[in-house]
Amino acid sequence: MSPLFPALAAPDGRPALRFGDRTLGYAELAATATALAARIDGARRIAVWATPSADTAIGVMAALLAGVPAVPLNPRSGERELAHVVADSAPELVIAEADAALPSALDGIERVTVPVVPESGGPAAPLPEPDRESPALIIYTSGTTGPPKGAILPRRALAATLDALADAWQWTGDDVVVHALPLFHVHGLVIGVLGPLRRGGSMRHIGRFDTAAVARELSDGGTMLFGVPTMYHRVAAAVRDDAGLVAALSGARLLVSGSAPLPLPDHRRITGATGRQVVERYGMTETLMNTSVRADGEPRAGSVGVPLPGVDLRLVDDDGGVLDTYDGRTIGEIQVRGDNVFTGYLNRRDATEAAFSAGWFRTGDMAVRDADGYIRIVGRRATDLIKSGGYKIGAGEIENALLDHPGVAEAAVTGEPDDDLGERIIAWVVPADPAAPPAPDELAAHVASELAAHKRPREVRFLDALPRNDMGKVTKRELGR
């Protein structure tokens, strides 16, 4: 396989990555990542403490150069979730910023910091290019029940998805991507950081999402904006009275939204103010990117566009029959295959087998297809999966964390529509002592410290008992009626 990042082998003076006021050129990135790659070469698997920083990008790049699988860790993980990821992935070492305070779940794992290497004195000899099927990244993703599973992404999947997006978005080395996404998921790390580096272009990470920073970067050389719908919802609210933001968005080459559906009112507000259509693309941790509205295609709000080059996509009905309908009405599950698809879940052969049907990956997303092949996602097979702020969250993992709290006798978790977050997590709780239920804030803080802040309930509703059917199973549909 040819190198994943040709621009690293022939660095010119161009900036590669910018985090806050730290800019990393291709020469510095190549020298530093190559030195770090030599340090970690031979390790079976490593972890990267994935703060939104240059060190995270260098750490991941070093792992990719060395052919060592890397597990990006959410630096905001709670104790239980981090302990699970560390035990499951068993990293030999963790790459972290020198001043990061690492939690006890990482005790006993060797800590490595990014070396300081003079640009000119970087090691010359590149490491041999690993096999295309070898695992590059292991990214943890939630299911309906149980703890998150590690999706193993081989090198060819990264190459396939990034090249397909280059085709769909006419993405080149001249593009400057602007975003504020976390670096422990596919969206921010693979598309947002590795994407620009594969093209030989640039990325600017603005830290915490903020429309003023978006306006500043897009009016100062940024060409593409990547974000989740919550970010575009905030953009849609701000364009009403921010002429600078309107001008910046109007001048951008491409505004891309993904990770969850972008509601039509947000599309309309942004287009109404700027004349620009936000382009939606559809992906998944296990499949990387599957479809997109193309830069050279007809824009269409509410659609995730057409299958990307190299992605086979089919719609399958409830009986397993393949649909050949292009009527914009008949609903089927999206199944995909192609070089973009992962190889399986780490240590979870059962879950891997269940995820495929005769070689096709079952996404669990339900969609219709228009006459011209455009896909519209209409829902999800699993009601116990919640998308909040673009993060996928399993109801079961939150229920388990709530049940760990001494004040909780029974718990059920649902998602409710939310203008800003898409869905908002609601916890339905039967208190252990009805006379003294735990405070909602305390339960939210408990979930945040066990799992992650984005998994905390935004609202807690107390009940005397959970609704159950004759079999004793909680009937979530009855909740909130």
Q: What residues make contact with ligand AMP under the rule CB under 6 A? A: 141, 186, 258-261, 280-285, 304, 363, 365, 377, 380, 387, 392
Binding partner of residue 228 among ligand AMP, ligand MCA, none, CB under 5 to 8 Å per kind? ligand MCA
Looking at the Cβ atoms of 304 and 355, the one nearer to ligand AMP is 304
Binding partner of residue 76 among ligand AMP, ligand MCA, none, CB under 5 to 8 Å per kind? ligand MCA
* b/e code 160-195 from CB counts within 10 Å (16+ = b): bbbbbbbebbebeeebbbbbbbbbbbbbbbbbbbbb
Distance CA 460, CA 405 (A): 14
CB of 460 to ligand MCA, least distance (A): 12
CB of 85 to ligand MCA, least distance (A): 15
Binding partner of residue 365 among ligand AMP, ligand MCA, none, CB under 5 to 8 Å per kind? ligand AMP
308: left (phi over 0), alpha (psi -120 to 50) or beta: beta
Cα-Cα-Cα-Cα dihedral sign, residues 398, 96, 149, 177: positive
Looking at the Cβ atoms of 182 and 431, the one nearer to ligand MCA is 182
Distance CA 9, CA 200 (A): 10
Looking at the Cβ atoms of 16 and 377, the one nearer to ligand AMP is 377
Looking at the Cβ atoms of 9 and 445, the one nearer to ligand MCA is 445
Output the residue with the shortest Cβ distance to ligand MCA. 389
How far the first Cα of the chain sits from its last, in Å, is 56
For residue 409, with 0-12 CB atoms within 10 Å meaning exposed, 13-18 middle and 19 or more buried, which class applies? Answer: middle
124: amino acid identity, one letter: A
CB of 306 to ligand AMP, least distance (A): 13
Binding partner of residue 263 among ligand AMP, ligand MCA, none, CB under 5 to 8 Å per kind? none
CB of 290 to ligand AMP, least distance (A): 9
Helix (H/G/I), strand (E/B), else coil: 39: helix
Distance CA 173, CA 14 (A): 10
Looking at the Cβ atoms of 216 and 454, the one nearer to ligand AMP is 454
Nearest in space to 139 (alpha carbons), one of 198, 189, 64: 189
Q: What residues make contact with ligand MCA under the rule CB under 6 A? A: 76, 181-182, 185-188, 208-209, 228, 230-231, 258-259, 283-285, 389-391, 421, 444-445, 448, 453-454, 456
